[in-house]
Structure 1
Amino acid sequence: MSTYLAHFKVWRGDPDGGALQDYDVEVNDGEVVLDIIHRLQATQAQDLAVRWNCKAGKCGSCSAEINGRPRLLCMTRMSVFGREDVITVTPMRAFPVIRDLVTDVSFNYAKAREIPAFVPPEGLKPGEYRMTQDDVERSQEFRKCIECFLCQDTCHVVRDHEENKAAFAGPRFLMRIAELDMHPLDAAAEAGLDRKVSAQDEHGLGYCNITKCCTEVCPEHIKITDNALIPLKERVVDRKYDPLVWLGAKIRRRA
């Protein structure tokens, strides 16, 4: 087994401030960055704070930034770096630091609570829902989300503009709205909720300028922009600006 020393710069600090600290850490074949962070904790920095759980790329806990790119520590192999590379590990920039590599992601849970839930069709009980496989496949991709919040972290609307957070749900939760809007059994419209209008007026869909940075960092390879956000934007435009849709809505209101 091949072993070498890698040079790491790891951000250490708390809400009052911090700085990068240098460490030389042993690396073995087949290891990921989280292995090295654990070895660093065991040998040199026992008080280093890092959030993790499954180490299998399915819990979304170990989100951080490696050389400036939002990644999962457990899914970033050391083999993608050269042995002479300096590897910088910092907390997610879009969220407040708690300590070291751990950030406060409660913003995301607050946004999740703002998204109206699935509305069951009237007259159908759980267990009586029926959908075709084509219907299932439309939104099944979005269900792969592990809520690592890397897409939220890399989205420049959130990352670079703190003032936008109040009005913008971010790609993860706009994708959730798109998923519900595509659901053939969602009866939100019948209950008086237009998810397309809600996405635009209440959750900031218009802030998204489809740079696809969220898609690029998704560890589940969900095509967030192409398959969720752009189709949702298209439906919003149809709803607001298509003259036939506008006329139909006027007629229905008068009726």
Structure 2
Amino acid sequence: MGYKAKFRIWRGEGGEGRLEDFTVEVNEGEVVLDVIHRLQATQTPDLAVRWNCKAGKCGSCSMEINGRPRLGCMTRMSTFEESETITVTPLRTFPVIKDLVTDVSFNYQKAREVPSFTPPADVKPGEYRMQQVDVERSQEFRKCIECFMCQNVCHVIRDHEENKPNFSGPRYFIRIAELDMHPYDVAERKEPAQEEHGLGYCNITKCCTEVCPEHIKITDNAIIPMKERVVDRKYDPLVWLGSKIFKRQR
């Protein structure tokens, strides 16, 4: 059975905006994105929202629903009380373009700053041979759909604009960790993670892990092990000496 739901949605452009109230029909089995589409079709056709797959795999419909970052296409209306007012706002960390659409170009800039997979010069494409254990070690990190909700809740970015030039954020720490674990990647990842991408700024509050829709253990499986490897490399005298004497073996 359908019912009428109360929605409060942020409307505006740039840094100026306001919350507007709507009453809209909700049908059984619908998600928040369904309701937003109904609002576009029936009440406010100029409401801007970014979306693509509606299957929880593209990450484009990230928004804050009742103050928590969520995917609009994966947040079921059945999780809310029918009498509840549902507040929908854009991701807070990134500049608003219009309504629920934010400018996430910061993340693409950081992606370009991470050197790509770098195999040995004497190994040609098609000649890579990996043990299954090596595949499984980094498989978790490849599930990332780049919804950027982990970036949104990271207080180093969210609360400190001045950190953005020197801090890549959790999404790119898992990318660096994945490459560092790859048996055929020969690029140096540890020192740049600390010196160029700001790994030391992270104080492992695990807020990024809590909002990940793919349930990637960002903190436990990527950031903490990477921090440990950086510390070993930089401060363990035996590791430091070995790095000076021997080339890294892959």
Identify the TM-score tier after normalising by the shorter chain.
over 0.9
2:233 counterpart of 1:239: yes
2:40 counterpart of 1:41: yes
2:141 paired residue number:
142
Which of 136-145 and 243-252 deviates more?
243-252
SS at match of 1:166: helix
* Shift of residue 246, structure 1, vs aligned partner: 2.4
| TM-score for the superposition, normalised by structure 2 | 0.96
2:3 counterpart of 1:9: no
Q: Deviations over 1:185-239 (max 9, x none)?
A: 1011xxxxx2100000000000111111111111111111111111100100111
Contact 2:69 2:91 in 1 (8 A): yes
1:120 paired residue number:
119
Amino acid at match of 2:108: Y
Task: Describe how 1:16-27 pairs up with structure 2 within 5 A.
Answer: 16-27=15-26
SS at match of 1:113: helix
- C-alpha distance in 2, partners of 1:82/1:252? 62
- C-alpha distance in 1, partners of 2:179/2:26? 45
Where does structure 2 lack aligned partners over 5 or more consecutive residues? none
SS at match of 1:165: helix
* Shift of residue 16, structure 1, vs aligned partner: 4.1
- C-alpha distance in 2, partners of 1:79/1:216? 21
- C-alpha distance in 2, partners of 1:168/1:52? 27
2:94 paired residue number:
95
- C-alpha distance in 1, partners of 2:112/2:22? 40
SS at match of 2:166: coil
Contact 2:63 2:100 in 1 (8 A): yes
What is the root-mean-square deviation of aligned Cα atoms in Å?
1.1
1:178 paired residue number:
177
Amino acid at match of 1:135: D
Contact 2:15 2:95 in 1 (8 A): no
Which of 203, 206, 221 is the aligned partner of 1:212? 206
Aligned length, in residue pairs = 247
1:155 paired residue number:
154
Q: Deviations over 1:91-138 (max 9, x none)?
A: 000000000000000000000000011111121111000000000000
* Shift of residue 86, structure 1, vs aligned partner: 1.0
Identity %: 76
- C-alpha distance in 1, partners of 2:169/2:92? 15
SS at match of 1:172: helix
| TM-score for the superposition, normalised by structure 1 | 0.95
- C-alpha distance in 2, partners of 1:85/1:49? 23
